[in-house]
């Protein structure tokens, strides 16, 4: 299944290497970063909703898996709250693109840029990497969508996530592996919220996509192309 993440997060190194002038400065900067970095603190001590013993280490691209669970965001997402992340993916890359494009356009529309004619960003170009992974486990299935509509609301975000986050917390206590559900942003698409880091099998980087958003009368229009990277 496919998960798109910003290309800048695909690298395993640290941005501190770009600003440190020597090894001593890099070591000092790393110590300071570790004291405040949510990912580093999560790897050492866990977060409120996930123990460090649940995370994966020593496998190729383990840092990509850990980041998904250690950066839940201030409001969480559809099937996770702010205390624990999840690995969101889609059966088709087109579904992942639709999901990412929706949320990116929403963030742009909420920005205020007084010096621009429309008072908001008129264009944005972002690069995303398609991270693929395999899953060999049982998952709860929300289908048909009409039966689970309270967990698949489109708006308002993030308020519409409250029922689905509550469901995810309940399923976690029942040792659920995660949830397969119809995409809310791509008609006919299928999404997965994997709740267990070790179940993200063989995470690997595939194509890079450039997503260009342009301001329009009713939001943003998008164009997508495969990038050379």
- Predicted pLDDT at 116: 87
- Predicted pLDDT at 90: 98
| Paired tokens of 114 | 């007084």
Calpha distance 194→69 (Å, rounded): 10
Query: pLDDT tens, 189-222?
Result: 999 999 999 999 999 999 999 999 999 988 999 9
- Predicted pLDDT at 118: 82
Q: Which residues pair with 210 in a beta bridge?
A: 127, 225
Whole-prediction pTM? 0.86
Alpha-carbon distances, residue 82 vs 96, 106, 171, 185 (angstroms): 22, 19, 16, 22
DSSP 138-168: --EE--SGGGGGGGS--SSTTGGGHHHHHHH
- The overall longest dimension of the chain from CA atoms, in Å, is 59
Element (H, E) at 210: strand 201-216
Calpha distance 215→197 (Å, rounded): 37
Nearest Cα to Cα of residue 79 among 141, 138, 137, 7: 141
Q: Which residues pair with 201 in a beta bridge?
A: 134
- Predicted pLDDT at 25: 64
Q: What angle do CA 157, 160, 166 make, to 5 degrees?
A: 125
- Predicted pLDDT at 12: 61
What residues in the chain have per-residue pLDDT under 50? 13-18, 26, 30, 34
| Cβ atoms < 10 Å from Cβ of 56 | 18
Query: pLDDT tens, 48-58?
Result: 789 888 999 99
């Amino acid at each position: 299944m496919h998960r798109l993440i910003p290309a800048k997060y695909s690298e395993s190194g640290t941005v501190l290497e770009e600003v440190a002038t020597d090894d001593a400065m890099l070591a000092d900067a790393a110590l300071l970063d570790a004291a405040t970095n949510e990912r580093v603190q999560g790897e050492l001590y866990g977060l409120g909703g996930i123990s460090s013993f649940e995370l994966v280490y020593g496998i190729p691209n383990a840092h990509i898996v850990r980041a998904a669970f250690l950066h839940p965001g201030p409001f969480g997402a559809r099937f996770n709250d702010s205390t624990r992340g999840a690995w969101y993916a889609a059966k088709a890359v087109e579904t992942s693109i639709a999901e990412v494009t929706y949320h990116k356009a929403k963030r742009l529309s909420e920005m205020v840029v007084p010096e621009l004619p429309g008072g908001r960003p008129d264009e944005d170009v972002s690069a995303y990497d398609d991270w693929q992974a395999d899953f060999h486990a049982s998952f709860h299935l929300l289908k048909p969508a009409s039966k689970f509509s309270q967990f698949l609301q489109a708006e308002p975000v993030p308020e519409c996530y409250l029922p689905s986050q509550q469901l995810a917390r309940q399923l976690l206590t029942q040792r659920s592996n995660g949830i397969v559900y119809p995409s809310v942003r791509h008609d006919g698409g299928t999404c997965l919220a994997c709740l267990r880091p070790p179940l993200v099998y063989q995470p690997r980087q595939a194509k890079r996509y450039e997503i260009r958003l342009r301001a329009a009368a009713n939001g943003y229009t998008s164009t997508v192309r495969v990038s050379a990277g």
